A and B are shown apart, each in its own frame.
Chain A
């Protein structure tokens, strides 16, 4: 057992050989900094919804620190469940008689793949904004943060565009039983881009490109 233990230790972690050569005041000062930082990080991790008032209150104390060091994230990846993926369809309108053009974001032709991931982040930002807009009280005008900016950028990328209509749809995760049945029946799977796996596009708004 002891031998196995030492082999495992060889591969992972370096055991400290000597004591710290830092003066006591330095270790105490660094310890205070570590305590502050680690408390801030844990508070940030716990403050994402659902969270208690206490958890949010503690995290709020560290808000300036989060701003300064770009921390305070919650790391709740794929929870509570892997979500469907939002897809933006931007319809570009021209004044010169050209027919409308539909732009898909994320653009699957983008290479390298990281550029595609960035566009997926854009769709998530817009979906999150749409979600917040839904929670606004009835009658209250919707204040868009990113939608007009994104629409203007798409408009600029298409010279002659006068306005851009943004819509958002969800690319759904298909029912595995449906896919399994299709494979059992035909020996082939169903294309994940099949229209039945997309929700009906939800209109976000029509945004002018002029003056951008």
Chain B
């Protein structure tokens, strides 16, 4: 009899403990912030695009003489939702343009991840304010990007990866490293993998849960409609005259195909809330989701909405896998870069590239501190002093502008430069510019007296640049 009371009680205690532990594990484990960084990039680009397009109709959307008078919208909103707010209510018509430009600048900063914590909050403020000022212009896209913006701002983790903030921090660290002379001429590149954090996990988890609610609710609500049961709903989507991008009415001749599409779409939405949590099924689910949204984008012309949903689904991708898409699966260096370590401009340049090389494919080597023939027998100190050289792992050697393009290929941030180099004529012009800059580059003042060598007076002097080497590393600046 006693066990009838203690048994359930013990069970409830155990259940409570298990739920608490599961909750903590789910929300408070540090994870890779890369997916969140990519979601910020996508959300920012979409918000920027949306507001930029609004610029065509600035007065019509936000002005007193627009589709709806500012005071009227404000009064209506105050009546329906007293806590709702929007800064657009306080912007006079003659200030719309500068405020719009200011918002675009903020969204650009947000997209590239500059001053991320502040710009994420401001981006969310812009998204909500714009939605509140123009409630008659909204559709699913605005709801979805506002959600992602909310979680990116609330987590404070949107700039922890794939951001200029992180690149700047890595650049500073790289510059400091490059300024230190080492015996083997190499410097340690800052870690490429962003540090896992609880704040990133909170942002990712909230987006994941919201995605589950969106798909689950969209699927459940469709069960009320006969067209989703008899398979005719798919036709309703491809034959909606006001939405079509292409004429897909020929699909009327293939009713079974339309029915299959309808049933698969509904099945996907209904199963998503459960299937997406199962590791083996998750990649398949994500692929289906991307396909479904691409189909929505192309049939209904809801490109922005589809992209916003795809961007949100990045929350279910692994950071390591996402990074491998940019950096490849390989490990170790791909290109050894011989640069003039006695040239401040060269040190800054190599720091610039290494900061944008999270996979550490670049191995920078200060040519003034090594025997270049030990790197590759075909190299000579004179040639290396004339221009930067890259020695790839396959043994191929590149110099000057071609070497710059090779280095750019290793750093995702500089891929546009590498692509630009493919354009005919760019290499021709690039070579000339490069050699002009290289020939006139400043170098560290030769240290050949007791005064400049004071801080490191006990160290021997280098014959190449007058820089001192020592067992310990020391800042180069002491030699100036």
- The one of A31, A63, A176 that contacts B235, using a Cβ cutoff of 8 Å: A176
The CA-CA distance from A69 to B249 in the complex, in Å, is 41
In the assembled complex, A136 has its CB within 8 A of some CB on chain B: no
In the assembled complex, B349 has its CB within 8 A of some CB on chain A: no
Contacts of B237 in A (CB 8 A): 78, 82
| B131 (CB) vs chain A CBs: closest residue | A70
Contacts of B319 in A (CB 8 A): 14
| A192 (CB) vs chain B CBs: closest residue | B241
B83 and A176 form a contact (CB under 8 A): no
Q: With A16-B201, A45-B217 known to touch, is A146 a contact of B150 (CB < 8 Å)?
A: no
A192 and B304 form a contact (CB under 8 A): no
B213 and A75 form a contact (CB under 8 A): yes
Q: With A34-B27, A180-B252, A189-B252 known to touch, is A41 a contact of B67 (CB < 8 Å)?
A: no
A11 and B321 form a contact (CB under 8 A): yes
> What band does the interface of chain B fall in when counting residues whose beta carbon is under 8 Å from A?
35 or more
For residue B324, give the distance in angstroms from its CB to the closest CB of chain A: 8
B27 and A149 form a contact (CB under 8 A): no
For residue B32, give the distance in angstroms from its CB to the closest CB of chain A: 4
In the assembled complex, A8 has its CB within 8 A of some CB on chain B: yes
A13 and B316 form a contact (CB under 8 A): yes
Contacts of B210 in A (CB 8 A): 41
B196 and A149 form a contact (CB under 8 A): no
B209 and A22 form a contact (CB under 8 A): no
In the assembled complex, A186 has its CB within 8 A of some CB on chain B: no
A149 and B72 form a contact (CB under 8 A): yes
Contacts of B30 in A (CB 8 A): 16-18, 20-21
- The one of B29, B50, B136, B206 that contacts A16, using a Cβ cutoff of 8 Å: B29
Q: With A67-B82, A115-B57 known to touch, is A18 a contact of B140 (CB < 8 Å)?
A: no
A189 and B250 form a contact (CB under 8 A): yes
- The one of A8, A27, A115, A121 that contacts B136, using a Cβ cutoff of 8 Å: A121
A80 and B239 form a contact (CB under 8 A): no
In the assembled complex, A19 has its CB within 8 A of some CB on chain B: yes
In the assembled complex, B60 has its CB within 8 A of some CB on chain A: yes
> What band does the interface of chain A fall in when counting residues whose beta carbon is under 8 Å from B?
35 or more
The CA-CA distance from A42 to B56 in the complex, in Å, is 37
Of the stretches B219-227, B350-358, B383-391, the one at the interface is B219-227
The CA-CA distance from A78 to B128 in the complex, in Å, is 24
The CA-CA distance from A192 to B213 in the complex, in Å, is 34
Secondary structure class of chain B's binding surface, majority of residues: helix
In the assembled complex, B169 has its CB within 8 A of some CB on chain A: no
Q: With A146-B68, A176-B258 known to touch, is A79 a contact of B224 (CB < 8 Å)?
A: yes
Contacts of B233 in A (CB 8 A): 78, 81-82
In the assembled complex, B343 has its CB within 8 A of some CB on chain A: no
A106 and B242 form a contact (CB under 8 A): yes
For residue A209, give the distance in angstroms from its CB to the closest CB of chain B: 11
Q: With A5-B280, A149-B69 known to touch, is A121 a contact of B252 (CB < 8 Å)?
A: no
- The one of B81, B201, B244, B252 that contacts A179, using a Cβ cutoff of 8 Å: B252
In the assembled complex, B1 has its CB within 8 A of some CB on chain A: no
In the assembled complex, A199 has its CB within 8 A of some CB on chain B: no
Instruction: Sample 29 A-B pairs with CB under 8 A, ordered by A number.
Output: A9-B279, A12-B283, A12-B317, A12-B321, A13-B279, A13-B318, A16-B201, A18-B30, A20-B29, A41-B209, A70-B84, A70-B128, A70-B131, A70-B150, A71-B150, A78-B218, A78-B222, A78-B237, A82-B240, A120-B139, A121-B138, A124-B139, A146-B136, A153-B65, A173-B240, A176-B235, A176-B258, A184-B253, A193-B241
- Identify the 6 closest CB pairs spanning chains A and B, nearest first: A80-B225, A16-B29, A82-B236, A67-B83, A79-B221, A192-B241
Q: Which A residues are closer than 8 A to B by beta carbons?
A: 4-5, 8-14, 16-22, 27, 30-31, 34, 37-38, 41-42, 45, 63-71, 73-82, 84-85, 87, 106, 112-118, 120-122, 124-125, 145-146, 149-150, 153, 156, 171-174, 176-177, 179-180, 183-184, 189-190, 192-193, 197, 212
Known: A5-B280, A190-B249. 14 other contacts (CB 8 A): A10-B321, A17-B30, A18-B29, A20-B24, A38-B209, A41-B213, A69-B150, A75-B218, A78-B218, A79-B221, A85-B241, A117-B304, A153-B60, A153-B67
